Amino acid sequence: MKRKPVKTTKWDVADHLRTPVEMTAYLEAVLEDAGNDPAFIAKALGDIARAKGMTKVARDSGLSRESLYKALSGERVPDFGTILKVIGALGLQLHIVTQP
């Protein structure tokens, strides 16, 4: 019996972040798992930005699409000012709480 080849597609988390609630839950999970890896957090922000539309996020943040892709690639650590611009453009707020 000859088996049909299995077709696979690349899985992209951005395809599954459809609502602000899903985006927030994803970012919260990443923040819990990131430890001290700011590039990992930047990559997650990039995933959310791609889900929302990189052109819109670039326009709302005042950054170019190219610099936004580079900053949120996970291959580098963007400066904190860039992170704050992206967070604002995504409609998110940064909150600080004390550790239990």
Q: Phi/psi class of residue 48: alpha, beta or left (left: φ > 0; alpha: ψ in -120 to 50)?
A: alpha
pLDDT band for position 29 (50/70/90)?
A: very high
Q: Is the pLDDT of residue 4 over 90?
A: no
Tally the domains of the chain: 1
Residues whose CB is less than 8 angstroms from the CB of residue 86 and which lie 6 or more positions away in sequence, other chains included: 45, 49, 57, 61, 63, 68, 71, 72, 78
CB neighbours of residue 50 within 10 Å: 18
Average pLDDT, the chain: 92
pLDDT at 1 over 80: no
Residue 34 — very low, low, confident or very high, per pLDDT cuts 50/70/90? confident
Q: For the whole model, what pTM was predicted?
A: 0.86
- pLDDT at residue number 48: 97
Give the domain range for residue 25: 20-89
Q: Is residue 50 part of a domain?
A: yes
